[in-house]
Amino acid sequence: MNQKPIEDRFYNARNDPSLVVIEGFHPLKHAIRFGAELVEAVSPDLSELAVLLAEYAPDLGDDIIGQVSAVDDDVFERLGPVKPPTGVMAIARRPVVDIAGLLDDPAPAPVVLLENPRNLFNIGAAVRAAAAAGAAGLVNTGNLDPWKP
């Protein structure tokens, strides 16, 4: 594991365009299901994480729990502006997306366009709805970056 202090790694990841910080169990669950490449994942309570996995994502239990390291609660609280109530945070690599290839794909799956959305929660809801509908992707225009928490 990287020898830089964990707080530095999470802080630096927030400013690195090749990385994204995932805050909370449900975003992590969705990221894993969509093929996220985790760099690091931490939790102050692995047993509580195991309970969440058993209840909400039994299919991902081994994929997630094996990648999460335990950290002290006081360290966890310093990793982000708000401590996620579901007690897990991760750093993942942002995928490189070929937008032209996505739009040229002859497959019948739609591509969803969000034109200048004003609320990050709406982007998250649209991503989940697009995924549930089998969309090939979601393109976002405007100032809001769905990758930044």
For 6-93, CATH gives: 3.30.1330.30
Which pLDDT score is estimated for 76?
Answer: 96
Per-residue confidence (pLDDT) for residue 133, from 0 to 100: 86
Q: What is the pLDDT of residue 36?
A: 87
pTM score, whole prediction: 0.80
Residue 97: its pLDDT value, please?
Answer: 83
Report which of residues 58 and 147 the model is more confident about: 58
63 has a pLDDT exceeding 80: no
Report domain extents, the chain. Answer: 6-93, 99-140
3-state secondary structure of 26: helix
In the prediction, which pLDDT does 20 show?
A: 94
Q: What is the pLDDT of residue 145?
A: 79
Instruction: Please give the pLDDT value at position 2.
Output: 53
Query: What does the mean pLDDT of the chain come to?
Result: 89
pLDDT tens string 116-142? 999 888 888 898 888 888 888 888 898
Cα distances from 113 to residues 23, 30, 35, 93, 135, in angstroms, run 25, 20, 21, 23, 11
Q: Which pLDDT tens digit goes with each residue over 76-107?
A: 999 998 899 999 999 999 988 888 888 888 88
Q: Which residues contact 141 (CB under 8 A, 6 or more apart)?
A: 113, 114, 115, 116
**Six-digit token string for 45:** 């309570």
